[in-house]
Structure formats: C-alpha cells, structure tokens
C-alpha cells in the first residue's frame, strides 16, 4: 500500500527587484512500501527537466522551482492501476510576469525528479518545449517513451539496466536527441522518430541481448558510434541522404554489415530512414 507524503516544502523567495517575479520552490514525495511494477508519466510544458534515480524509501521525489505566473505542480496516484502522473507547473491562462517582462520568467521553471531504484518502472515523458536531461542509470526500466516537441533531450545509461526493457520509444522534434550507453539500456527494441533535429546514438555499454534499432528522420544528421565488440548491420535508405560508414564493414546495396557480425554474440540491426540528412556510422 502506498502512502502519500504531504508537500514538505513551499517557499516564496524574496524578489531581487520590484518588477521581478516571486519564485517558489515546492518539494513533494511519495513513500514506496512494496516493489510492484509502477507506470510513471511526467508532463512538462516549457522549462528544464532533470530525471535521475533516487533512494529508498521513496517512489519519487520532486523539486519544482517556478514563477508566480505558473500554477502549482500536481500529482495523481491510481492505486488500483498502479499509475503515477506528475505534472510540472503550468503557465496560468491570461497571466504575465510582473512588469510585463516575459524574459524574466524564462528561468523560473526548473523541475527535478528522482525515481525509485527498487520497483520496476514503465516511464513516459511528455515535454512540449523543455530541455531534458534524463539520467536513467539505476532505474529498473521495463519500458520507456519520450514525446517531445521543440525539446532537446539527452538520455543516458551509465550502468546496466536492472530490468530487461521491452521497448525504448522516442518521438522528438527540432531539439534533437542524444542517447548515451545504449548497450546498458537492455532493450530488445528501440524506435526513434525525429523531425528536423539531430540524433546521436552511443552504442557503448555492457551488452546482454540483441537489439533491433529503427531510426526515422525527416531532416537532420544521424550519428551512430559503436564499439568493435558487437556485430552491426545497417540498412539505410533515403531520398537525398548521404552516408559515411567508418570501420570494418562490407556493403551490399543499401546494407552495411560488420565483418565480425556472424561471430558476434550480440547483434545490433539498424534500420535508418532519412529523407534529407547525413547518416554517420563509426565502429572502432
């Protein structure tokens, strides 16, 4: 049974000038009393988002810094479905920063979330136009989904995922996406769809299973780096896309296969669809 902690901090900080906004910092958390799977959704409009692993006994801890033209952040826990939805502070309809200075509110929204290391998590993040730094190291992820518009996102796995991940999904816009330590994600399938931003994938990590990785991009560079210890097969198509493949590969038409592919205990099958952009693959 989960128990909710009441809000443990809500502070109004002194403004630096008469026209500056008040800035509030709100901290909230929820206790974790069992280790059953949990589905978590984070929803954010504009601002910055940082996600990392937290410590027991919490399912989550959240610290939000926001200006007085924003509504307070919220949380919803559905005990029967074991779903948690956290919503960042949102700009209130019809409000403007004090003094009418929109720029003074740009730094007001900063959201930091820590998630449990103890219970399996299915994590979904919806970000409209936020810069996201997602350090998922240590969070037992079974599924992950990122939906972003103009957001720029960096996702990293610095150690092996404690769980096996079924699917890693990312739909990104102009801000682009960087994923570091793909091998540590322990995913069997990754699907990445980009708009006009760049996509960078680092396939380093401790590999334990094969991976099917599909990348689709309209306009923007796709850069993939891989260690020499895994087998790579790249199938790449595009109307006006260009390719730069560096390493020990054999090419047949639109398919490149590393010379160690058949002998490798881990195989990564890359399917890249790029309408207009450069696809770079480096293995060494």
Q: Is residue 2 part of a domain?
A: no
* pLDDT, position 105: 44
Residue 1 has pLDDT above 50, yes or no: no
Q: Is residue 80 part of a domain?
A: no
Q: Is residue 26 part of a domain?
A: no
Count of domains forming the chain = 1
Q: Is residue 212 part of a domain?
A: yes
Percent of the chain with pLDDT over 90: 69
pTM greater than 0.75: yes
Going from the C-alpha of 243 to that of each of 138, 204, 240, 269, the distances in angstroms are 35, 21, 10, 17
Dump pLDDT digits (tens) for 72-121. 899 999 999 999 999 998 877 655 544 444 444 444 589 999 999 999 99
* pLDDT, position 20: 55
Going from the C-alpha of 273 to that of each of 10, 152, 189, 276, the distances in angstroms are 47, 21, 16, 9
Dump pLDDT digits (tens) for 201-214. 999 999 999 999 99
Q: Is residue 267 part of a domain?
A: yes
CA–CA separation, 99 and 19 (whole Å):
5
Going from the C-alpha of 15 to that of each of 22, 23, 159, the distances in angstroms are 5, 7, 41
**Chain position carrying tokens 């810069």:** 131
CB within 8 A of 121, min separation 6: which ones? Answer: 37, 38, 39, 40, 115, 139, 140, 141, 142
Domain with 140, as residue range(s), is: 120-283
Q: Is residue 44 part of a domain?
A: no
* pLDDT, position 72: 87
Of residues 168, 178, 166, the one with CA closest to residue 225:
178
Most confident of 1-10, 19-28, 235-244: 235-244
* pLDDT, position 69: 81
How would you classify residue 260: left for phi > 0, otherwise alpha for psi between -120 and 50, otherwise beta?
Answer: alpha
Q: Per-residue confidence at 31, pLDDT binned at 50, 70, 90?
A: very high
* pLDDT, position 240: 66
CB within 8 A of 60, min separation 6: which ones? Answer: 29, 30, 40, 54, 84, 86, 113, 114, 115, 116
- 46 alpha carbon, distance to own chain's centre: 15
Q: Is residue 63 part of a domain?
A: no
Query: Phi and psi dihedrals of 79, rounded to 5?
Result: -65, -40
* pLDDT, position 21: 60
CB 167 within 8 A of CB 191: yes
Q: Is residue 97 part of a domain?
A: no
Question: Residue 172: beta bridge partners?
Answer: none
**Chain position carrying tokens 């998630």:** 115
């Amino acid at each position: 049974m989960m128990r909710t902690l009441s809000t443990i901090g809500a502070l109004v900080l002194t403004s630096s000038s008469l026209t500056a906004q008040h800035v509030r910092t709100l901290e909230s958390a929820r206790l974790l009393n069992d280790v059953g799977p949990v589905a978590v959704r984070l929803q954010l409009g504009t601002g910055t988002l940082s996600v990392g692993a937290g410590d027991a006994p919490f399912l989550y801890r959240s610290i939000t810094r926001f200006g007085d033209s924003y509504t307070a952040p919220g949380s919803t826990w559905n005990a029967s479905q074991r779903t948690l939805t956290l919503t960042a502070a949102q700009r209130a309809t019809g409000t403007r920063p004090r003094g009418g200075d929109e720029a003074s509110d740009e730094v007001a929204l900063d959201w930091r979330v820590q998630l449990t290391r103890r219970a399996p998590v299915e994590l979904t993040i919806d970000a409209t136009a936020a810069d996201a730094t997602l350090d998922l190291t240590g969070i037992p992820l079974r599924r992950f989904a990122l939906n972003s518009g103009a957001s720029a996102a960096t996702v990293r796995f610095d150690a092996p995922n404690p769980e096996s991940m079924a699917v890693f999904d990312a739909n990104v816009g102009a801000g682009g996406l960087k994923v570091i330590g793909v091998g540590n994600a322990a995913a069997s399938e990754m699907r990445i769809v980009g708009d006009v931003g760049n996509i960078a994938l680092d396939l380093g990590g401790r590999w334990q299973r094969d991976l099917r990785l599909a990348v689709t991009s309209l306009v923007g560079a796709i850069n993939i780096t891989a260690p020499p210890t895994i087998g790579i097969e790249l199938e790449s198509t595009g109307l006006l896309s260009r390719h730069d493949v560096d390493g020990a590969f054999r090419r047949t038409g639109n398919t490149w296969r590393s010379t160690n592919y058949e002998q490798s205990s881990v195989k990564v099958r890359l399917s890249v669809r790029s309408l207009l952009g450069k696809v770079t693959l480096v293995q060494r």
